[in-house]
Amino acid sequence: MASQVPHARHPEPWLLDESGTYGPHGSHGPGPSGPFGPPGERPAPGGPDSRITLSQSTGASRPARGRHRVRRQRVGRGPSAVLGVAAAAAVGAGGIMSSQAVRADTGAAAEERSIADAAVDRLADLTGAAADEQTAPADGVTAVTTAGEEVADSGQSQTGETTDTAFTDVTDPGELLRARLLAQADQQRADAEEAAKQQAEREAEIEAARIAAERAEAERRAQEEAERREREEAERRAREEAERRAREEAERLANLTVVPTSNYAITSTYGQAGSMWSSGYHTGLDMAAPIGTAVVSAAAGTITSAGWSGAYGYRIVVTHADGTETWYCHLSSIVQASGEVAAGDLIGRVGATGNVSGAHLHLEVRTASGSHVDPLAWLRNRGANV
């Protein structure tokens, strides 16, 4: 029994002859005449011949051009292609994400998520498209029963078994691959986030170390500056203290009055009357001491005269700041004949030169106006312990 099945690529009807070969009507010559009329016409239901001829809606038939095979449904190639594309997508996405996993910033992590999600979505689309292609009937092909009913080809086999099991076998690996890709993307996102976190921690540690170093350097500089200022302040205070002490010492020395000799005995005082003095009275203070005993300046001043002075013998005159003069007479030698002197500076030695009766120091004190002053009172008034 032969039946006509339209081919999706050829509009003319096809016949299935007794040998099981499909071909267009007329490829083997005209078929046997029957009650169905010319080819392309459908007999009335219930006719003696169950062969049905299908044609396009135009009803026109054209001569045969040769033998053709009916397009076979490629059940296994769709999922294989899907799995191949999925594997390529997985490898490509994994390679891209692996090469970019070292990025630590948030933008790199977002880019990796977008690439992984796009790969997963593409895999899902390919898997769904393959499933739709397997479950959908072939374009322009219908199955016709012997009873004349047209039934859509749902992919069932002659035994009535569906291909759900095959689709399940194909879909499950895709789902596993999809889940694996999702897990890989999640892991890579987690790795990227962890790397970004560690990088942020390292940067924070570096920044903290830098801030600590800057703080330590600032503290060190501040400490050095404080120490420098403290040293300068101490030096300034020391200088001021030294200057103050020098001034005080200078003032003390300027005002200091000392006994002009040592190992002495007072033999004559100021104003004592006697024929031994030309004025009829003693104008100074006699301090008897061995020849060669040191004679010092009673107070600070300047030596204005030094040498032989008649009845006074060898004499040194020291003029003080207020104009007062002290005379040191009857010296055996002159040690300093000029220059500045301070109280206690050695200027000569005790002798017995001039108008004397024995070795002694004759000390006279005269004011700036030239009048005589009691030397003993002058010494005591200035603090000398006579």
Domain membership of residue 386 (yes or no) is no
- Say whether both 187 and 308 belong to one domain: no
Could you give the CA distance from residue 317 to residue 140 in angstroms, rounded to a whole number? Answer: 153
Is the separation of the CB atoms in 262 and 275 below 8 Å? no
Residue type, 100: Q
Could you give the CA distance from residue 371 to residue 203 in angstroms, rounded to a whole number? Answer: 95
Could you give the CA distance from residue 301 to residue 20 in angstroms, rounded to a whole number? Answer: 157
Could you give the CA distance from residue 317 to residue 173 in angstroms, rounded to a whole number? Answer: 132
- Say whether both 249 and 181 belong to one domain: yes
Could you give the CA distance from residue 147 to residue 130 in angstroms, rounded to a whole number? Answer: 33
- Say whether both 87 and 223 belong to one domain: yes
Domain membership of residue 260 (yes or no) is no
- Say whether both 119 and 234 belong to one domain: yes
Could you give the CA distance from residue 323 to residue 344 in angstroms, rounded to a whole number? Answer: 19
Burial classification of residue 45, based on how many CB atoms lie within 10 Å of its CB (0-12 exposed, 13-18 middle, 19 or more buried): exposed
Could you give the CA distance from residue 363 to residue 355 in angstroms, rounded to a whole number? Answer: 14
Non-local (6+) Cβ contacts of 97 within 8 A are 112, 115, 116, 184, 185, 188
- Say whether both 32 and 122 belong to one domain: no
Q: Is-above-0.85 flag for pTM? A: no
Domain membership of residue 218 (yes or no) is yes
Could you read off the pLDDT tens digit of each residue along the chain, which spans 386 residues?
444 444 444 455 555 555 555 555 444 444 444 444 455 445 445 444 444 444 444 444 454 454 555 555 554 444 444 455 555 555 554 544 444 444 444 454 445 455 556 655 665 565 555 445 444 444 444 433 433 444 434 444 444 444 444 444 446 888 888 899 999 999 999 999 999 999 999 999 999 999 999 999 999 999 999 999 999 999 999 999 999 988 888 787 778 899 999 999 999 999 888 777 777 788 999 999 999 999 999 999 999 999 999 999 999 999 998 999 999 999 999 999 999 998 999 999 999 999 898 999 999 999 999 899 999 999 999 889 88
CA 200 to chain centre: 13
pLDDT of residue 274: 75
pLDDT of residue 354: 92
Domain membership of residue 146 (yes or no) is no
What residues make up the domain containing 65?
A: 1-71
